[in-house]
Every structure is written in C-alpha cells, then in structure tokens.
C-alpha cells in the first residue's frame, strides 16, 4: 500500500463516493470545491492498529482515532463521554459506581446482555476487547496522559492476542521522552446540576530525560466528585448497623433519615514508566499503573413513588441503605521491541490484579419476588447484597511484524493468558435474627444469624493462541490479505452456595466443572487504491469469544433440576463479519463509509438459573446485525474544523432464544438490547489567534442515539424501551505558550441520557410487606456540569 500524507494541496475531485459523503454531511458540493484550496490542511493521522505505524487512510477497514490533545482540549471526563465522541460506539453509563465491573462497550450492535447488568462480575467476557498499551484489560482507568485512543470495528483476532467479536478499543499511552525534561500541572473545578458542592481534580505529569537512552515519565491524579444523588428513604441505624425500632422490635414502625449527594467519588490514579534503549534498534518500557476508587453510592435516581406515596425528585434514590463501592487495580507491564532489519520482534509481558467490593440494596427484589414471606415478612426489612470480585492475570504476547518494504507484509503472534476470576456474594437480612429471637425466644437457635445466602465462584482460564496475517501487495494499487487464528482454551469453574440463616436448611453445596475447546478462524481482505487519496476495501473475517464452565450444583438442598446438566458448559460464540468500505479525502475533507453484515452464532447471554439464582452464561442460537457507518472530518476554513459521524444498525435475533428448559427468553426478530438503530456524532472546533502568541479555541460536540431496548427478555421485570436522547458539550480555551485556561460545559440541555433501568416490577416499593423504600432506578448520564481547568507547563 502506498504511504502518503494528506494535505490540502491534493487535487480536488468529486467522485461518486465523495459526492455522497458531502451530501450526507450537508455540505454543498460547489461550496466544498470552492473552499478546498482555502481550507486548512488536514493533519495526517498515524495509527498502529495494524501493528505498524501508518496513515489511517491506508488501513483497509473502519477505524477511528482521537488524540490525547483532543481529549484534553475538550476536557473529556470519562470513558462514556470519550466513546460518545466516536461514531457508532455505544456504552452503558453507570457513573463511577461499579464502572469497572462489567465492560459494556458495544460496537455494531453485538450485545445480548441486559443494560442493567453491572452490580456483579459475569463469566462471559465483553464482545469488545480493550487494550491499555499492549495489555488486554478492562480497568476503566482515568483518561490521563494518553497519546491517542484507537477504535477498530469488527473482529481483530488475527492481529491481536485477545480475541474479539465486535471490535477493539486501544488506549495508546504517552511514552517517556529522551528529548526533554519537564512537565505539566493542572487543576479543575466543577459544579454538577443537583449537587451542593464543588468537585475538583488535580493532575501532574513529569518527564525526566536522564540521557538520550533512558527516560522516566510519571503522572499522578486525584479526583473528588461531589455527588448529586440524595438517598431519601434511609433507615436510621443503631450502633450495630441495624434499623432502629422506635416502638420495639415487634412493632413494624421504623425511623428514617436521608443523605444528600451520597454518590461521592474519590479516586487516586498514578503511572510510572521507565524507557531504555540499550542499543540501536532496541526499545524497552517498564510501566506500573495504580488506581483506587472509593464511591459513596449510585448516580442513579428512582422514578415513581415510595411506600408513603411521596414522588421522588429528579436526583433522589429510594434505597433504604447506602450503596458504596471500592476497588483497586494494579497493572505492571514490560513492553520490549528489537528491530531485526527485515522485521520487528515485540514482547509484551504483563501482570495485573483488579479487585473491588460493593453493597447493593436488595430489599426491593426480596419484596417483589415474594422472598420476604420466607422470612415471615419481618418488620423493617433490610436486605444487603455484599459483593466482591477479583481478576488476576499473567499475559505474554510475542509478535513479529515485517518492515513493510517489500511486496509481502506479515504479522505473526503468539498469545498466552493465565487468568483467575473470583466473584462472591454474601446476602444479609439486617435485623432478622434480632427480631426472630424476640418473636420466638424459645426457638432462638433455629436462626443462625442475619446472613441468608453465601455464593462463591472461582474460575480459572488458560488461553493460548497463534495468529497472523499475510498481505501481498500485488500491484501499487491492489493488496490481498489473508489471516488465521488458532486458539486453545481451558477453563475450570468451582461454585459454592449455602443458605445458612435457618439451621435446618443449611447445606453447603459445591460443584466443579472443567471445559476445553479449540478452533481455527480466518480473515480475508482485498483493498484497491482508486486514486492517491481513495481506498476501496472489502473484508470477510471471523471473530470469537471464549467459552467456559458454569458449574451448576445438581445435588443437595440447593440443586437445580437435572436438565441443567446440559448447561454445565457454555460454548464460545463466533461471528462472521462482512464489510465493504471506501475512504479517502477531497480537498480538506476526510471520509470513511462502509456497509456491514454480521452473522452471530451461539451468542452468550449472562443470566441466572431460575430457582437458586446461580450466575451462569447460556448460549442462544443465532443473531445478526447489519448497517451503515459514515465518518466525515475536515476543515471548512483555515480555522474552522468539523467532524460528523452516523451509524445505522439493525441488530436482532435470527432465531428464538430459549433456556435449557425450553422456556422462551425472547423470540426471533427481537431487537438486541443496548443497540440503538441510529447514532450520530458531531463536532465543531474553531481557532482564533490572539496577540502575544496566544490563541482562543472553541469546541462544540454532540451525540444522539435513538431509542434502545433494556434487555433481551419477554418478562415484565426487565423488558423496557429506553427513550432516545442527545447530549451536547462545549468548551472555550485560552492557550498561551506555557499556560491555558479552559471553561467547559457538559450536557448543556441537561438530558437524562438513560442507558439502562432497574424496573419497579423487579425491585420497586412494596408497603404491604413492610418495604417503604424503592430500589428501582434509571442509569442516567452525567447531568449538566460547568467547570474550569487551569494548566501550566514547565
């Protein structure tokens, strides 16, 4: 493939594809042709998605990139906001609480899981793989000191060690520099609609060049988010953490209190990297990341009324207890490369330990499901689900990448991952034992305590893969690529459960199941250069997501029905992706347009068994998605730039999805959850030079998604259609040589931007059985926020 820089001096021409792109952008063709010479030059975008640095226009599939400078200029706060700026990428926005438990990034509509999933870790990995540097990990780190973020759409199993179905998101980090010593400090202050306090963040980056061969880079960040959500139905608790009984233990009376702005978030983030080039062609970087989050509660308001008939306000939550969460993640990675002349050999070694815990309000679930009757509808019910998760792994990846100078290019890789996952849940009926002893003092020994459920799930995975691609540049314009991937996965699941609250019922139950699978995947790609700045490409590629074991107990007091023996293992699911695309430039406009279709076999659904509620993954039969992806970016004038993206996705089941019992989960043709039919991104940026080497930068960006489904379910407990919404952000920055000041505004229209719901029917209020709170909630986006950021470089 011919490598070229993109400049405004390219000869304007109006091909059919370019004309279509311009019409979709709303740009008159005559105006575009007239302005192309006057517009500012398009900056070349270099990416490493194909494992070698090249112009984004030479990559023969749909890829987007956003630079670290753009992230900072727009003051992008978190991953949901970042991904909303990239065409066709969806995500469930849970706020800070449990934001790193479940990866809910969706590309090309490939999702069957509920949008309300996220309070507990699941066995099935995401359909989208995320990489930090060269390490496949989902840790939701703060967006700090990033060189760029690349989003690759479609399966990437022949280029990356960790397989994927829908695509890959790469966080490419800023490396230690040998050229200078210096740094930057910045501070931000913000006010969120609904909060009584001011939030702040502080960041420091320092690069130390000790020689032209060795450098160190460090950054440290502190975030303090003030919270917006008022918990208005909280039980008043005594010294033992149990609900106060103002009229005695046997009376149903309770005492309530509240807490304003309960969903506080306090985060520490740090990264330290050392880079060494011991000899020509050698490059080694050792990095360690750390992040600690302490979250006070959910940024998720309750809609409707409580048990007293009171209507909840805009940012009020009806839980009768606080729901904090905490997590820590440590990641250490060594990335080494050596230039062999004909190719570059790269080694990526990493270890990480990611763990967290949370307390969830479960009383509404107990009340709505009828479980409270099992406990005699005891007064002042308070069901706490105390959950933990831990993800530990060692990962080794080796890649040999040709130098790209001959007629043949290749990538060959070896991948190994040894991963251990642990999920636990301890459920407590706070105050039940105390009430029981007062109600039946003669039978006090029949109840062991308040803990009524114990669940432990330990999983281990060993994933091995050999992957690679070979590209033949048949002519200066025609290139043919073939790729293969062989994988071999082994897994073991150990499950333990007990219901210890009643002495007569307790019967610790355990199960173990081992699974193994291997297969071969392929990829084929053809690309043809139509002109200096126009590339036509077509791809057929397979993707996969590993399977695993469920380990469902089939004996003992807590056994499921024997038919569940057929669900002890869940298979990998695979996709076959077909796409045809065209990308190029016309004057100062860069465009990328493609159509795609994906056939999805054995889609994995994260769910639970019907009786004892073991967390499991089930395979369905078939689903399919198809659509159109359009991206436009360019400069309308020397100072005014724009971006526009549109994605249409038709994502639905292609066969009935049934449980192993034959029960219908959802029927053929049902729309897949969390997959809006239309998504639009738009941005405008303007630069105005000022005197004294200063400049003024104006940014406006917007995101729209059409309505979407909450869950793949016919049950009234989960089935819901979520409204469409749009979110607009703006910023103005005054930038000098060493300092900058940015005033920014998020969610100008203060849209709810709901991306998931916990419905009333699932965990709403139930005063008839003593539950006067309401645990239903909406997963809303960050409300309107105004902030000021000050930065100084030295």
Nearest Cα residue to 747 out of 192, 94, 96, 260 = 192
Q: Which residue has the tokens 């729309």?
A: 671
Cβ-based burial of 774 (10 A; exposed 0-12, middle 13-18, buried ≥19):
buried
C-alpha count within 13 angstroms, C-beta hemisphere, residue 512: 2
Phi, psi of 23 (to 5 degrees): -60, -45
* Residue 708 CB partners (closer than 8 Å, separation 6+): 90, 115, 673, 674, 675, 676, 721, 722, 755
Considering the entire predicted model, what is its pTM? 0.91
How high is the pLDDT of residue 677? 98
> Using CA atoms, how far apart are residues 81 and 74, in angstroms rounded to an integer?
10
Helix/strand/coil for 791: strand
How high is the pLDDT of residue 142? 95
Query: Looking at the domain assignment, is residue 636 inside a domain?
Result: yes
Q: Are strands 230-235 and 316-317 parallel, antiparallel or unpaired?
A: parallel
* Residue 144 CB partners (closer than 8 Å, separation 6+): 203, 205, 219, 221, 269, 271
Do the Cβ atoms of 127 and 156 come closer than 8 Å? no
| C-alpha separations of 279 from 179, 213, 282, 347, 531 in Å | 17, 8, 5, 17, 41
Do the Cβ atoms of 51 and 618 come closer than 8 Å? no
Structure tokens at 262: 């309960």
Residue 604 host element (H or E): strand 604-608
Per-residue pLDDT of 360-417, as tens digits, reads 999 999 999 999 999 999 999 999 999 999 999 999 999 999 988 889 999 999 999 9
> Using CA atoms, how far apart are residues 439 and 248, in angstroms rounded to an integer?
11
* Residue 578 CB partners (closer than 8 Å, separation 6+): 539, 540, 596, 597, 598
> Using CA atoms, how far apart are residues 197 and 730, in angstroms rounded to an integer?
22
> Using CA atoms, how far apart are residues 682 and 7, in angstroms rounded to an integer?
23
Nearest Cα residue to 640 out of 76, 149, 31 = 31
> Using CA atoms, how far apart are residues 709 and 384, in angstroms rounded to an integer?
28
Do the Cβ atoms of 217 and 176 come closer than 8 Å? yes
How high is the pLDDT of residue 7? 31
Structure tokens at 303: 């809609």
> Using CA atoms, how far apart are residues 414 and 412, in angstroms rounded to an integer?
7
* 3-class SS letters over 259-283: ECCCCCEEEEEEEEEEEECCCCCEE
How high is the pLDDT of residue 17? 40
User: What total of structural domains would you count in the chain?
Assistant: 1
> Using CA atoms, how far apart are residues 556 and 662, in angstroms rounded to an integer?
24
Do the Cβ atoms of 39 and 635 come closer than 8 Å? yes
Query: Looking at the domain assignment, is residue 2 inside a domain?
Result: no
> Using CA atoms, how far apart are residues 498 and 505, in angstroms rounded to an integer?
9
How high is the pLDDT of residue 13? 38
Q: Write out residues in the chain with pLDDT < 70, as ranges.
A: 1-42
Tell how many helices (H) and how many strands (E) occur in the chain.
7, 44
Query: Looking at the domain assignment, is residue 141 inside a domain?
Result: yes
Nearest Cα residue to 473 out of 529, 530, 391, 413 = 529
Residue 608 host element (H or E): strand 604-608
CA angle 585, 588, 592 (to 5 degrees): 35
16-19 contacts: CB < 8 A, separation 24 or more?
Answer: 17/534, 17/582, 17/584, 17/591, 17/593, 18/534, 18/584, 18/586, 18/589, 18/591
Q: Whole domain around residue 524: which residue ranges?
A: 16-789
How high is the pLDDT of residue 12? 37
Residue 367 host element (H or E): helix 363-369
| C-alpha separations of 549 from 531, 661, 758 in Å | 51, 18, 28
- Spatial strand order of the sheet with 135-136 comes to 63-67, 146-153, 167-173, 128-132, 135-136
Q: What is the DSSP letter of 338?
A: E
> Using CA atoms, how far apart are residues 368 and 767, in angstroms rounded to an integer?
11
Query: Looking at the domain assignment, is residue 10 inside a domain?
Result: no
The strand ranges marked E within 362-429 are: 383-402, 408-429
> Using CA atoms, how far apart are residues 155 and 110, in angstroms rounded to an integer?
11
How high is the pLDDT of residue 220? 98
How high is the pLDDT of residue 41? 62
Q: Which residue has the tokens 């306000």?
A: 313
Q: Where are the alpha helices (DSSP H) in 66-199?
A: 68-73, 79-84
In this structure, the chain runs to a length of: 794
Q: Domain of 139: which CATH number?
A: 2.40.170.20
Query: Looking at the domain assignment, is residue 227 inside a domain?
Result: yes
> Using CA atoms, how far apart are residues 252 and 240, in angstroms rounded to an integer?
19
Query: Looking at the domain assignment, is residue 8 inside a domain?
Result: no
Do the Cβ atoms of 266 and 142 come closer than 8 Å? no
DSSP code per residue over 639-705: SEEEEEEEEEEEEEESS-EE-TTS-EEE-TTPBPTT--SEEEEEEEEEEEEETTTEEEEEEEEEEEE
The strand ranges marked E within 76-154 are: 89-91, 105-107, 128-132, 135-136, 146-153
Query: Looking at the domain assignment, is residue 1 inside a domain?
Result: no
Greatest extent of the chain over all pairs of C-alpha atoms, in Å? 93
Query: Looking at the domain assignment, is residue 216 inside a domain?
Result: yes
């Amino acid at each position: 493939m011919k490598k070229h820089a993109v400049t405004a001096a390219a000869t304007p021409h109006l091909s059919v594809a370019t004309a279509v792109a311009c019409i979709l952008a709303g740009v008159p063709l005559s105006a575009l042709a007239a302005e192309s010479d006057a517009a500012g030059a398009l900056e070349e975008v270099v990416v490493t998605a194909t494992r070698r640095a090249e112009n984004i226009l030479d990559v023969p599939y749909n890829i987007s990139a956003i630079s670290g400078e753009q992230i900072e200029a727009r003051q992008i706060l978190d991953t949901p906001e970042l991904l909303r700026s990239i065409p066709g990428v969806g995500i469930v926005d849970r706020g800070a609480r449990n934001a790193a438990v479940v990866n809910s990034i969706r590309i090309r509509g490939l999702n069957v899981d509920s949008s309300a999933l996220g309070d507990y870790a699941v066995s099935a990995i995401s359909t989208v793989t995320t990489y930090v540097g060269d390490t496949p990990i989902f840790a939701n780190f703060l967006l700090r000191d990033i060189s760029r973020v690349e989003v690759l759409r479609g399966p990437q199993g022949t280029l990356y060690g960790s397989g994927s179905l829908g695509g890959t998101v790469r966080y490419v980090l800023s490396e230690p520099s040998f050229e200078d010593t210096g740094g930057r400090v910045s501070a931000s202050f913000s006010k969120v609609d609904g909060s009584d306090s001011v939030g702040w963040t502080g960041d420091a980056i320092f690069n130390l060049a000790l020689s032209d061969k060795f450098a160190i880079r460090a950054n440290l960040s502190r975030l303090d988010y003030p919270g917006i959500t008022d918990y208005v139905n909280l039980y008043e608790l005594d010294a033992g953490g149990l609900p106060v009984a103002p009229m005695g233990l046997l009376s149903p009376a309770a005492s309530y209190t509240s807490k304003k702005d309960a969903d506080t978030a306090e985060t520490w983030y740090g990264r330290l990297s050392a880079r060494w080039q011991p000899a020509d062609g050698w490059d080694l970087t050792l990095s360690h990341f750390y992040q600690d989050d302490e979250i006070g509660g959910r940024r998720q308001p309750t809609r409707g009324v409580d048990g007293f008939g009171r209507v909840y306000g805009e940012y009020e939550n009806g839980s009768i207890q606080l729901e904090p969460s905490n997590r820590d993640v440590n990641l250490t990675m060594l990335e080494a490369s050596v230039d062999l002349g004909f190719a570059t050999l790269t080694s990526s070694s990493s270890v990480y330990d990611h763990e967290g815990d949370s307390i969830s309000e479960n009383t509404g679930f107990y009340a709505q499901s009828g479980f409270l009757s099992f406990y005699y509808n005891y007064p002042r019910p308070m069901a706490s689900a105390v959950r933990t998760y831990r993800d530990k792994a060692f990962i080794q990846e080796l890649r040999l990448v040709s130098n790209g100078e001959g007629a043949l290019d290749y990538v060959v890789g070896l991948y190994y991952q040894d991963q251990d996952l642990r999920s636990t849940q301890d459920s407590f009926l706070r105050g039940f034992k105390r009430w029981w002893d007062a109600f039946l003092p003669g039978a006090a020994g029949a109840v062991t305590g308040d803990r009524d459920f114990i669940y432990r799930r330990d999983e281990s995975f060993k994933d091995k893969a050999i992957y690679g691609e070979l590209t033949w540049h048949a002519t200066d314009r025609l290139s043919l690529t073939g790729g293969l991937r062989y994988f071999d996965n082994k897994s073991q699941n150990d499950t333990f459960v007990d219901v210890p609250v009643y002495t007569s019922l307790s019967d610790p139950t355990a199960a173990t199941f081992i699974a193994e699978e291997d297969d071969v995947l392929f990829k084929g790609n053809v690309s043809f250069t139509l002109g200096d700045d126009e590339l036509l490409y077509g791809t057929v590629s397979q993707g996969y997501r590993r399977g695993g074991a469920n380990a469902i107990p089939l004996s003992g007091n807590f056994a499921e029905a024997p038919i569940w023996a057929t669900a002890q293992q869940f298979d990998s699911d695979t996709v076959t992706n077909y796409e045809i695309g065209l990308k190029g430039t016309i004057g100062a406009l860069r465009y990328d347009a493609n159509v795609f279709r994906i056939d999805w076999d054995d889609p994995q659904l994260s769910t639970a068994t019907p009786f004892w509620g073991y967390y499991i993954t089930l395979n369905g039969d078939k689903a399919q998605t198809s659509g159109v992806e359009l991206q436009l970016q360019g400069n309308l004038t020397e100072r005014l730039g724009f971006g526009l993206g549109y994605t249409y996705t038709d994502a639905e089941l292609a066969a009935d999805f049934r449980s192993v019992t034959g029960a219908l989960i959802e029927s053929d043709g049902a729309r897949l959850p969390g997959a809006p039919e239309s998504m639009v991104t738009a941005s405008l940026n303007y630069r105005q030079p000022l005197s004294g080497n200063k400049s003024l930068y104006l940014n406006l960006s917007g995101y729209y998604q059409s309505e979407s489904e909450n869950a793949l379910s016919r049950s009234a407990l989960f089935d819901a259609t979520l409204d469409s919404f749009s979110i607009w952000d703006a910023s103005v920055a005054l930038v000098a040589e060493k300092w900058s000041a940015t005033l920014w505004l998020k969610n100008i229209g203060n849209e709810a931007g709901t991306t998931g719901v916990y419905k009333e029917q699932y965990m709403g209020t139930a005063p008839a059985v003593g539950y006067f709170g309401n645990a239903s909630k909406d997963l809303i986006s960050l409300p309107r926020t105004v902030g000021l950021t000050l930065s100084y470089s030295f």
